[in-house]
Amino acid sequence: MASNAKLNLTLLALLITTATVATGYTNHTVGGDAGWFFDSNTITSATNYSSWAANQTFNLGDYLIFRSSTNQTVIETYNETTYRSCVTDDASDTDTFQYGGGNTDFGQSLTIAVPLTIEGTNYYFSDADDGIQCQQGMAFEILVNHGIGLPPSLNQPPPPPYIEPPGGDLAQSPPITITGGSPSLNNGAMGGGFDSRAMLCSLLIGVAGCLMF
Ligand SMILES: *[C@@H]1O[C@H](CO)[C@@H](O)[C@H](O)[C@H]1NC(C)=O
Ligand SMILES: *[C@@H]1O[C@H](CO)[C@@H](O)[C@H](O)[C@H]1NC(C)=O
Ligand SMILES: *[C@@H]1O[C@H](CO)[C@@H](O)[C@H](O)[C@H]1NC(C)=O
Ligand SMILES: *[C@@H]1O[C@H](CO)[C@@H](O)[C@H](O)[C@H]1NC(C)=O
Ligand SMILES: *[C@@H]1O[C@H](CO)[C@@H](O)[C@H](O)[C@H]1NC(C)=O
């Protein structure tokens, strides 16, 4: 009896732990169905990104998914001065990063995944059109909570280096491909996600329970 009850409790704990680990992180599509777009004819953003952000809870290890095109940029900064300025001219590459930059063709569709790796206030904007996009709504801030903490795969994020957005001398800049996210995500034949879940799982509940993965 007693040992049966104990077994049941163990199974219950196992199930709860499994559910938490499996569903602990959220991918937030920026702007929802509207995506991350700016209409330069009407000079308006596709949606109100501040309102969108205000309605979400962000945790470490979540991703922002920018469904966008090369007409917009994705700048991440931890520096409020840079955020308010809407440009990156004076930005430092220690607190400001551009994701998915380097494509100099207009209008190419682009999806950029940005992992949330730093707790606290994070700022995002598009510095395209000399800051006009940002001034006209392509900007939002979020508060990143601790949640369940970073998964091992994101634990030492090397943020991509900041690169100058395309300026007047577009034709001369060679195309550079910077992919968003951490390179370690693609490490290993089984993929980082599987490994990290399995690792976390073994740490938490012992190897036997991890066969469920
Ligand atoms: C969230 O986005 C990341 C980065 O693109 C991807 O690796 C992961 O599979 C996505 N997770 C879900 C639940 O869609
Ligand atoms: C977006 O909505 C907020 C309220 O959530 C409002 O204060 C702000 O003015 C709106 N921005 C634009 C560009 O309409
Ligand atoms: C916020 O989310 C709730 C439900 O999740 C939804 O009903 C509401 O329309 C959203 N508000 C905005 C401004 O998106
Ligand atoms: C933020 O960036 C500005 C330049 O945009 C720089 O002058 C300032 O020192 C930075 N602030 C911090 C706290 O690093
Ligand atoms: C992208 O920008 C180019 C040049 O300004 C413009 O011709 C094109 O319509 C834009 N495409 C989108 C999808 O906004």
Give the Å distance between the CA of 162 and the centre of ligand 4: 15
Query: What pTM does this model have?
Result: 0.71
Which residues contact ligand 2 via a Cβ below 6 A?
A: 48, 50-51, 54, 137
On whether the CB atoms of residues 103 and 175 are closer than 8 A, the answer is: yes
Chain CA centroid to CA 127, Å: 18
- Greater confidence, 10 or 112? 112
Using one digit for the tens of pLDDT, what is the confidence trace for 124-181? 999 999 999 999 999 999 999 999 999 988 876 566 677 766 654 444 444 444 444 4
All structural domains of the chain: 27-181 (2.60.40.420)
Non-local CB neighbours of 49 within 8 Å, separated by 6+ positions: 30, 31, 36, 137, 138, 139, 140
User: Closest ligand 2 atom to the C-alpha of 54?
Assistant: 5
Ligand nearest to the CA of 47: 2
User: Closest ligand 1 atom to the C-alpha of 185?
Assistant: 7
Using one digit for the tens of pLDDT, what is the confidence trace for 43-90? 999 999 999 999 999 999 999 999 999 999 999 999 999 999 999 999
**8 — pLDDT class (breaks 50, 70, 90):** low
As a three-state string, the secondary structure of 67-118 is EEECCCCEEEECCHHHHHHCCCCCCCCCCEEEECCCCCCCCCEEEEEEECCC
Range 196-213 average pLDDT: 41
Which residues contact ligand 5 via a Cβ below 6 A?
A: 40, 69, 71, 106-107
Give the Å distance between the CA of 67 and the centre of ligand 2: 21
Q: Look at ligand 3, atom 3, and give the residue with the nearest C-alpha.
A: 55
**212 — pLDDT class (breaks 50, 70, 90):** very low
